[in-house]
Structure 1
């Protein structure tokens, strides 16, 4: 028996459909920060699972499965006249999205799975949680669960984010929540991965305690066409903790993922994992479109062209940056030049040659930046965390 799910739609009519699915114990509100920017480009549909947010509760005595949740979603899309859509889901929402993509591939154009899993943990843990909420209500598990959803850093800096998620959790219907827990205790979507043809973005939170990154790595390894992106700092509800980065990743993946995917690969190879991770972590709703533009066109298009080697592009870039006096970029691209095969002596020759045309003062400053950047203790800062 399907449940008529609550949906809300925003974005320009005629734009590609994008369906956003929430995690266990949350509502459509968890997508508040990304939804606005996404709705500039897509016709966004946010959906509450049964018993969550404003959707009706699941009937008592139901033996619920993820297939049932997927069937609910199909019925909701049919009511809206959505024949085919991009789908992004967090945790349980991602599991529902995987089921949909595997069993109704004609309905899913591209897929994004955020902090999700094909086999989400210890069956005993899910049985015990279901029993607890049936006996004592949602408040009995609220604090323990929510504190695993966000990093301690974010909770300390923005306690209102924790309180908003806690409010969503305690307002969830206990019986529906318990049924979802029971659906998860025996869930194994491993066999479904081979059936998913949709290009898929897999996003993990490095600090996710609920579903650690190994779960996302397993998903990406089992899919025919997948790209894995790990965000840090980010725990389980990445669209709240890393709203800007998630928005940029989703816009790129659903709006033309091939060029953006190549851009991220080239950007990481040239600038280093640590630098790109810091840039993504600092992304906000304001800067997300620029990050997408930068990655797609600078790194996915120009830097990825075959006409020049990366070594040659580093030489050209350093010369241009010195000429422009772009001091904040010179150190970054000195590191990149080393990564692309230039020796410190060759970097010195590039700067010396540039001095002839850019002027001595700018070249002098560039030499100082290069000297500092090439110091062993400075280069060590560019290494990713263990």
Structure 2
């Protein structure tokens, strides 16, 4: 079985994340935790990479062989239908699944990948080189192939260096044989293409070719990104994937960050466990994805209402958070004070007294308290 990691609630919609040649599931470290708020995320390692055995495939392997391993993994987890996102070779696996197993693929995102990888000869030569000399020399040039100048992720470069040569070479065989251009029109799953604008391996034209062939497909180009966009520009990739996969939960997470701030949301995400994942999804999907995005009330008005409700029920820890949110939403200290004064009339003087103390502490942190 492919080595894998599962994150998010068991009841959430499943989303598989496929890696690029030479990397491990660590490629998704800056993206997967956020996606797991709304999905049961399954990351997997290619054979001979990360924790997956090289013996899962052999010489002459195909992308279809890798896709079969992904389906076997899904079956082992009791997952019948799933969404899928993959980078480079991982993206090719997604294309194969969408063409040959459409009943299994709900939605598809193909990142820095291609319907063909510029002919078989370069990959045949690389496979022969790796089988003869190993990966140390090839890994030295990983930064130039993967990232824009001056950027690197040492952990991913180390993954490249320590991959099993036989597994890596078999994956090169799969890339050499892959050409699905004539079958792209058969893809019926809603499809998103994500291109790194600085990607020399699979330039935006490769993604555009897929977008032109797949009915209704969308295309996003990310500036400042090379071949491993989820590692180099995770925020941009996450924004694109949320819009494609998440619906209300994805939109809600964006609003939640805008109102509460990245620091607070990052702490909440770090504390998330299998036990709390469904609750976090509930908050993102309904509170932030539906209520806070309703344009009937402005965010300023919603902040005033929220502070009042928190005072009424004595939720002062939450009140501190929402005083900070009120400042982000444009309320002045004077307006926050006026809201709390209103609560003295309708929620009680002791409650308002505690609320003023909390708010004064928060404002003092910002250097705004009298």
TM-score interval, normalised by the smaller of the two chains: 0.5 to 0.7
Displacement of 1:146 in angstroms is 3.1
**Structure 1 CA distance for aligned equivalents of residues 45 and 76 of structure 2:** 15
Q: Of 42, 54, 60, which aligns to 1:57?
A: 54
The 8 Å contact of residues 132 and 140 in structure 1, kept in 2 or not, is answered as: no
1:200 and 2:191 matched: yes
Relative to structure 1, the CA distance from residue 123 to residue 153 in structure 2 (aligned partners, 3 Å threshold; closer, same or farther) is same
Say what the alpha-carbon RMSD is for the aligned residues. Answer: 3.3
**Structure 2 CA distance for aligned equivalents of residues 246 and 226 of structure 1:** 16
**Structure 2 CA distance for aligned equivalents of residues 151 and 301 of structure 1:** 39
**Structure 2 CA distance for aligned equivalents of residues 94 and 119 of structure 1:** 11
Output one character per residue of 1:201-224: Cα deviation in whole Å (capped at 9) or x when no partner.
100000001111111111111101
Displacement of 1:13 in angstroms is 2.0
- 1:146 equivalent in structure 2: 143
Q: Which runs of 5+ in 1 are unaligned?
A: 156-160, 261-282, 287-291, 303-323, 326-386
The alignment partner of 1:128 has SS state of helix
Q: Of 26, 29, 33, which aligns to 1:29?
A: 26
Q: Of 41, 45, 62, which aligns to 1:44?
A: 41
Displacement of 1:145 in angstroms is 3.0
Displacement of 1:59 in angstroms is 5.9
- 2:342 equivalent in structure 1: none
Relative to structure 1, the CA distance from residue 23 to residue 38 in structure 2 (aligned partners, 3 Å threshold; closer, same or farther) is same
- 2:163 equivalent in structure 1: 172
**Structure 1 CA distance for aligned equivalents of residues 213 and 157 of structure 2:** 33
Q: Of 229, 241, 246, which aligns to 1:250?
A: 241
Greater relative contact order, per chain length (Cα 8 Å cut-off, separation 6+): 2
The alignment partner of 1:132 has SS state of helix
Relative to structure 1, the CA distance from residue 82 to residue 184 in structure 2 (aligned partners, 3 Å threshold; closer, same or farther) is same
Displacement of 1:182 in angstroms is 1.7
The alignment partner of 1:55 has SS state of coil
The 8 Å contact of residues 206 and 233 in structure 1, kept in 2 or not, is answered as: yes
The 8 Å contact of residues 143 and 151 in structure 2, kept in 1 or not, is answered as: no
Relative to structure 1, the CA distance from residue 175 to residue 225 in structure 2 (aligned partners, 3 Å threshold; closer, same or farther) is same
The residue correspondences of 1:367-382 to structure 2 (distance < 5 A) are none
**Structure 1 CA distance for aligned equivalents of residues 57 and 203 of structure 2:** 32
Output one character per residue of 1:118-140: Cα deviation in whole Å (capped at 9) or x when no partner.
01114221111111111111112
**Structure 1 CA distance for aligned equivalents of residues 194 and 81 of structure 2:** 22
Displacement of 1:200 in angstroms is 0.8
